[in-house]
């Protein structure tokens, strides 16, 4: 199993110091090469679940494993290595490096993972070939998100975790970017967990998990 979350619990401290449970025993699995939409109302814990899967935060209880390796039992360093080498992250805010041009941004994640990125075909594939020496601020939102997607995929991760990747884009651009991401993900054979509010987008994935009351429904 590529990603396994079993009985995952997470609470945040409330205003009065009393923990407010967000996840109350979440079970979720993602097989290699599978695409999965994580949906749920605002505040249902979608981003929380994704951050736990990425090892960016720690669960209070339960098991989280990536490629069979127990993330919950790892220290911060091991989690960072796992993230760098096996996981690609795409966020709503594109998070590009402003001082690097498109080509360098595309190569960035792969470099961190100790791999040489094949930037040219990737740029071609994402319609960025003419923009390689531009800087992020010179790109449209859709172009910036294409760079962020290319950057995540250039490192050839086994698992892509995407949090509302088209949330900052208009509907038509968002749909186009999502189709490109899906096609690329399928070509590379990576598994994709995507947090989304969009039913249309969720419908494009192999499977859908709906979060309600802190559990998968």
Ligand X SMILES: Nc1ncnc2c1ncn2[C@@H]1O[C@H](COP(=O)(O)OP(=O)(O)OP(=O)(O)O)[C@@H](O)[C@H]1O
Binds ligand X by CB under 6 A, chosen from 46, 83, 131, 156: 46
Task: Output phi, psi for 115, to 5 deg.
Answer: -120, 155
Q: Give the CA-trace dihedral at 122, 168, 102, 159, to 10 degrees.
A: -50
Alpha-carbon gap, residue 160 to 191, rounded angstroms: 6
Question: Which of 52, 102 has the CB closer to ligand X?
Answer: 52
Cβ within 8 Å of residue 155, ≥6 positions away:
84, 85, 88, 109, 110, 112, 113, 115, 117
Q: Is 199 in the site for ligand X (CB under 6 A)?
A: no
Question: Which of 48, 105 has the CB closer to ligand X?
Answer: 48
Alpha-carbon gap, residue 193 to 37, rounded angstroms: 6
Question: Which of 20, 130 has the CB closer to ligand X?
Answer: 20
Alpha-carbon gap, residue 118 to 21, rounded angstroms: 44
Closest by Cα among 42, 130, 144, 45 to 92: 144
Question: Which of 138, 217 has the CB closer to ligand X?
Answer: 217
User: Are the CB atoms for 191 and 160 separated by under 8 Å?
Assistant: yes
Binding pattern to ligand X, positions 92-131, x when CB under 6 A?
----------------------------------------
Q: Is 12 in the site for ligand X (CB under 6 A)?
A: yes
Stretch that binds ligand X, among 1-9, 36-44, 117-125, 130-138 (CB under 6 A): 36-44
Stretch that binds ligand X, among 41-49, 82-90, 185-193, 201-209 (CB under 6 A): 41-49
Question: Which of 47, 198 has the CB closer to ligand X?
Answer: 47
Question: Which of 52, 106 has the CB closer to ligand X?
Answer: 52
Stretch that binds ligand X, among 37-45, 69-77, 124-132, 144-152 (CB under 6 A): 37-45
Strand partners, 61: 9
H helices then E strands: how many in the chain? 7, 10
Q: Is 78 in the site for ligand X (CB under 6 A)?
A: no
Q: Is 42 in the site for ligand X (CB under 6 A)?
A: yes
Instruction: Give the residues lining the site for ligand X (CB under 6 A).
Output: 12, 22, 40, 42-48
């Amino acid at each position: 199993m590529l990603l396994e979350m079993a009985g995952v619990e997470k609470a945040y401290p409330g205003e009065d110091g009393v923990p407010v449970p967000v996840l109350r025993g979440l079970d979720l699995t993602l097989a290699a090469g599978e695409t999965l939409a994580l949906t749920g109302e605002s505040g249902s814990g979608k981003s929380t679940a994704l951050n736990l899967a990425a090892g960016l935060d720690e669960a209070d209880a339960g098991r989280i494993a990536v490629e069979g390796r127990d993330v919950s039992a790892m220290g911060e360093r091991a989690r960072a290595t796992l993230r760098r080498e096996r996981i690609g992250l795409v966020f709503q805010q594109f998070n590009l490096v402003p001082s690097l041009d498109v080509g360098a941004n595309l190569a960035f994640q792969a470099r961190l993972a100790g791999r040489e990125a094949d930037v040219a075909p990737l740029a071609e594939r994402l319609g960025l070939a003419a923009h390689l020496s531009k800087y992020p601020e010179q790109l449209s939102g859709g172009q910036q998100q294409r760079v962020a997607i290319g950057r995540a995929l250039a490192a050839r991760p086994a698992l892509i975790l995407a949090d509302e990747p088209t949330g900052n884009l208009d509907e038509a651009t968002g749909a186009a970017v999502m189709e490109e991401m899906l096609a690329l993900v399928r070509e590379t054979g990576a598994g994709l967990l995507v947090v989304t509010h969009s039913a249309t987008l969720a419908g494009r994935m192999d499977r859908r998990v709906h979060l309600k009351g802190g559990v998968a429904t």
